[in-house]
Amino acid sequence: MRPQDVVTPPAPPSPAPTGRVELDQAEAALVEHYPRLVRIAYLVLPPSLGRNRRVLTAHALAQRSLPRGRTVPANAGGTAAARAGGRPENAADPGYLYVRGRVLRQALDAGLPLRRFARPKRAQLPPLLPHVWGLRVFPRSGGADELALDQRLSALSGPGRAAYVLRALEDLPDADVTQVLNDAGVADPHAALAEADGMAGSDPALLDSAEFDPCSLQARPTDLMRRRQHAKAALVAAAALAVCGALLGLPGEGWGPDGAAAPAYARNPSAEAALDPGRLVRVSPTAWQYSARRDFSVWPARGGLTGDDALLRRALAVWARPGSAVQTSATPATPPGPPMGPPQLLYAGVVDRARVVLLHDGLRVVRYAEPKEGTGGVALDFARTDDADSASASALVAGRTDGNVRYLTAPWVRTTSVRDLLTPEGGARPLRRDKDGLTNPLPSPAQARDCRSWDVLELRDSAADRLLTDLGELTPARLTYGTPSAPKDLGGAVERAAWARTACLLPGVASHGVRSVNLWQYAQQSLPEANGTAAWLCTRAETWRGPGSRVMAQFHAPGTLPGAPGAIAARAEDSPACGVRDPKVLAGVLWKSRAGSWYVLAAGSGQFASLATSGGVDGSATGRLLAVRAKAGARAELNGVLSDGNRVGALH
């Protein structure tokens, strides 16, 4: 647990430096203040780079900021008239100012768009060093306040972010910010300051948090299946290089019989039967009406290209043996291998600028996409869909283009509409479909750079109105509300209001093979000093494969702006908490009242008989709610006793 409103007072300004900067002086400043310089670069770099590349680029910019010669003028880094500010301590020296100016200029250059005929600047290209192979690195996740600040920063231009960082992180007055930006090549520093003024209300102390620290990192693997396929493809490519060289001079155009598939490596009657488009399973258009089950197995074959045997042959061949040029993706624990037998055809048609084929083999749904023109840019996506039901088999992602997504809906879906989760009082907007069940495009929150809206697909069938959201995978995730044992589809104002404060936290569970996300308000708490009533909620993302679930406990304080995400009190991965197997949950936060008093607040689900804190804060309470006076920055261990006498800890 950590405080949300701690502000570090600025120190008095330091005098401006003069003279020249020695190489040794700049190097000493870089080594001493390296974490701070990398943090500045990370905050100014454009968020569109993604967190992994932003981290590596920030380190590269800092490491490339030393002068080329033995000495340079003190203003060569663009910092002649600017102070170093109140932080870092003792940083008001020409070396630090020079290096900071170089870092800032390069970070601003990295955000400039690439011109077609212009020579790119070094900062606009991916860094050569440092480089990480086989891992994705990114800063540790913060809470809701850090997430909100990051989203607000991403909406600013590069100079606007730089102005805010110089103000908030470096404690520079506006006159010095203007000078630093002017020396860094910003055309209109006053416009950048005006942009930074729009960040009023954000806590500048949050810039010192772990969320924006590119020197304290988490590591995750890259796409392991793709790496394995690339290694195999590299061996095949090396063996075929001589043959390909001879064929380059031969005339020809368009797709071959197998399209972008790799060369055949075996002859097997069963495998060849699975790749015969004439043996594809095609379900009757009315089968779903009489079947005892409603899932992907009763989807009929739809689309204007279901009779294009050449397209279907290419799709099956690429599925069986994708070539090195095929962009392949798979949700976690989804095997990307060939079908065991002839798969079922769900759809074949044109979606925006691509020909798309959707196939199903009982375990997986596979999407093949090729461009309408040319022979490049083939994509193959796998998603696990075993044990689907009428709700989870209601729609598939048919395509994503220009920040929009199109869905192919199940034959039992009667109407489709769009609803913005961040405006719970707003109504649903109609969404048209064609005769094959393909929807018009709608904005995809999975591709948005900020969280100003969160459009979800609302489907109506004979049973209920269901909400599905795009989390960047082939199968959209179903959104529900209620106790773990009886989640239900969103239908009332209470459920939508709760989801309005949770939607912006969904990127934390994206791209993990999520099948459904349930939100459950497990407790309400009257706050001390008559500060109103807070809500405690638990969000659980279930996966198609079973393991890999993600759980978040949230604290919703009263008086927060509508749509603002709740504070994340605790989170866990691959935990049974807040689920059918183990519905109990316990979490706590450090909270400040309107009068400025600090408290440790905690709440547990109905299974808890008492709660207690120890460590930095000692206190206990009978029942499942606790409020104990504390000091700012205090840390405490939280545990509870269940009705059966067992002691359990907080969610982590």
In-domain check, residue 599: yes
- What is the pLDDT confidence band of residue 295, given thresholds at 50, 70 and 90? very high
Chain-wide mean pLDDT for the chain? 84
Q: Are residues 215 and 230 in the same domain?
A: no
In-domain check, residue 525: no
Secondary element (H or E) of residue 39: helix 34-44
CA dist 37 and 105 (Å) reads 12
Question: What per-residue confidence (pLDDT) applies to 84?
Answer: 47
Question: What per-residue confidence (pLDDT) applies to 154?
Answer: 84
Q: Are residues 278 and 159 in the same domain?
A: no
Q: Are residues 318 and 183 in the same domain?
A: no
Q: Are residues 63 and 184 in the same domain?
A: yes
What SS3 state is found at 101?
Answer: helix
Burial (CB count within 10 angstroms: exposed 0-12, middle 13-18, buried 19+), residue 205: middle
Question: What per-residue confidence (pLDDT) applies to 450?
Answer: 86
Question: What per-residue confidence (pLDDT) applies to 265?
Answer: 47
Write the pLDDT tens digit of every residue in 521-563. 999 999 999 999 999 999 999 999 999 999 999 999 987 766 6
List of E strands, 232-375 = 327-330, 344-351, 354-360, 364-371
Identity of the residue numbered 289 = Q
Question: What per-residue confidence (pLDDT) applies to 251?
Answer: 45
Q: Are residues 213 and 269 in the same domain?
A: no
Choose the final residue of a domain: 388, 411, 427.
388
For the chain, give the percent of residues with pLDDT over 70: 84
Tell me if the pTM is above 0.85: no
The pLDDT of residue 86 is above 50: no
Q: Are residues 210 and 259 in the same domain?
A: no
Question: What per-residue confidence (pLDDT) applies to 13?
Answer: 35
In-domain check, residue 418: no
Choose the final residue of a domain: 356, 388, 420.
388
Which residues form the domain of 643? 585-652
The pLDDT of residue 194 is above 70: yes
Question: What per-residue confidence (pLDDT) applies to 260?
Answer: 61
In-domain check, residue 438: no
Q: Are residues 83 and 190 in the same domain?
A: yes
Mean pLDDT of 366-376: 90
Burial (CB count within 10 angstroms: exposed 0-12, middle 13-18, buried 19+), residue 240: middle
- What is the pLDDT confidence band of residue 448, given thresholds at 50, 70 and 90? confident
Write the pLDDT tens digit of every residue in 100-140. 999 999 999 888 877 666 667 777 777 777 878 778 777 87
Question: What per-residue confidence (pLDDT) applies to 231?
Answer: 57
Choose the final residue of a domain: 345, 365, 388.
388
Highest-scoring range by mean pLDDT, 152-161, 250-259, 364-373: 364-373
Q: Are residues 196 and 232 in the same domain?
A: no
Q: Are residues 212 and 232 in the same domain?
A: no
In-domain check, residue 624: yes
Q: Are residues 216 and 230 in the same domain?
A: no
CA dist 229 and 380 (Å) reads 13
Write the pLDDT tens digit of every residue in 299-338. 999 999 999 999 999 999 999 889 889 999 999 999 888 8
- pLDDT: which is higher, 222 or 182: 182
Q: Are residues 208 and 109 in the same domain?
A: yes
- pLDDT: which is higher, 117 or 298: 298
CA dist 139 and 154 (Å) reads 16
What SS3 state is found at 611?
Answer: strand
Q: Which of 360, 409, 410, 368 is nearest to 386 (CA)?
A: 360
β-bridge partners, 72: 21
Question: Domain total for the chain?
Answer: 3
Secondary element (H or E) of residue 40: helix 34-44
In-domain check, residue 453: no
In-domain check, residue 538: no
Q: Are residues 216 and 263 in the same domain?
A: no
Question: What per-residue confidence (pLDDT) applies to 640?
Answer: 96
Mean pLDDT of 201-223: 79
β-bridge partners, 155: none
CB 407 within 8 A of CB 392: no
The pLDDT of residue 80 is above 60: no
Write the pLDDT tens digit of every residue in 32-64. 898 999 999 999 998 888 888 889 998 989 998
Mean pLDDT of 479-508: 92
In-domain check, residue 468: no
